[in-house]
Amino acid sequence: MRISNLTRFKLKKFNLSSDQISRYSRQIILKEIGAKGMRKLLNARVLVIGAGGLGCPAVQILSASGVGNIRIVDGDKVEISNLSRQIMHYTSDIGKLKVESLESKINLMNPDVSVEIINEFANKSNIKRLLEDCDFVIEASDNFGTKFLINDACTHFKIPYSIAGVVQFFGQILSVIPGETTCYRCIFSKYTGEDSNNTCSALGVIGTVPVIAGTLQANEAIKSILGLPLKFTNGFFFFNLMENTFEFVNIKKNPSCPVCSNPDEPFYLKNQYTDEFDECKIK
């Protein structure tokens, strides 16, 4: 389906250029997006925490879809062991900062996108600054401490977010609308830490898993910006690419959750955030 000249004329009232109308034409003709939704995407800002296996496909989809402002946070450099699963980093990028590697690819991909890169790891000292003016947060790190930090801070600042985890052939995704849906601590507040070594570096991961998970996280961000319902809330979406199974497990909001039952309390300032579950508990 092509966009007619008359339709192009009407679309320009949304301050879309001719190039933008052509670039995003397949999105604009979707009734769930249209020109109004496209303008929302171009005006939006998404924070991506982590520029690795999850962050690469998330950033790629956000950029191609025309999310106009993307803030990428990661303090790591590209290593050769990253290249089998971190699809936006190439052999020539080895030794470069991951955020700079992604920035260069986005600039080539889409001139509509303004990229802000921050060569830091997220922590409780900088998280308020990192979250500033963001419409959605994609938690794409590879450690549990950051996942708890993002959960606690986004809940406090009332910013919707998506958390994903991948290992071996398995992936899981949770999206959270603060004040409305189950948060990460509702699920893991009593976790003992006994499985804290179940990470990609310890157990491995096939590259298809983070690509799928990161893409789904980007899709959740896009739907949130457009005001469409998020389907990965109040539970975990699990997939197993060895068996090709996909399942959503409902998990009720915990009325006694120390974070989302009291969102005005800045718990993120009171905790230590390490890669051990038991060290990330509310003190």
Q: Give residue 82's region: left, alpha or beta (phi > 0; psi -120 to 50).
A: alpha
Residue of 101 and 144 predicted with greater confidence: 101
Residues in the chain: 283
Residue of 146 and 1 predicted with greater confidence: 146
Residue of 275 and 230 predicted with greater confidence: 230
Selection from 48, 47, 57 nearest residue 212 by Cα: 57
How much is the mean pLDDT over the chain?
Answer: 90
**Cα separation of 124 and 274, whole Å?**
11
The per-residue pLDDT for 14 is 86
Span 12-29, average pLDDT = 91
Residue 274 has pLDDT above 60, yes or no: yes
The per-residue pLDDT for 283 is 38
- Band the pLDDT of 277: cuts 50, 70, 90: very low
The per-residue pLDDT for 188 is 84
Q: How many CB atoms lie within 10 A of CB 265?
A: 15
Set 200, 257, 260, 280: catalytic member: 200
Task: Report yes or no: 259 and 269 within 8 Å, Cβ to Cβ.
Answer: no
Q: DSSP letter for 283, please.
A: -
Pick the most confident of 63-67, 141-145, 261-265. Answer: 63-67
Task: Report yes or no: 112 and 17 within 8 Å, Cβ to Cβ.
Answer: no
- Band the pLDDT of 8: cuts 50, 70, 90: low
**Cα separation of 38 and 40, whole Å?**
5
> pLDDT tens digit string along 119-151?
999 999 999 999 999 999 999 998 889 999 999
> pLDDT tens digit string along 148-187?
999 999 999 999 999 999 999 999 999 999 999 999 999 9
The predicted model scores a pTM of 0.91
> pLDDT tens digit string along 35-51?
999 999 999 999 999 99
The per-residue pLDDT for 192 is 42
- Band the pLDDT of 191: cuts 50, 70, 90: very low
The per-residue pLDDT for 281 is 42
Checking DSSP bridges between strand 161-167 and strand 170-176, what pairing results, if any? antiparallel
For CA atoms 87, 90, 96, 99, the dihedral sign is negative
Tokens of 134: 């963001």
Residue of 258 and 95 predicted with greater confidence: 95
Tokens of 215: 């893409």
Question: Which overall architecture, per CATH, does domain 44-280 show?
Answer: 3-Layer(aba) Sandwich (3.40)
Q: Which amino acid is at 112?
A: D
Q: Which residue has the tokens 């939704």?
A: 37
Span 248-261, average pLDDT = 92
Q: Is 134 a catalytic residue?
A: no
Q: For residue 40, with 0-12 CB atoms within 10 Å meaning exposed, 13-18 middle and 19 or more buried, which class applies?
A: buried
- β-pair partners for 166: 171
The per-residue pLDDT for 207 is 96
Q: Of 18-32, 85-99, 147-161, 249-263, where does mean pLDDT reach its minimum?
A: 249-263
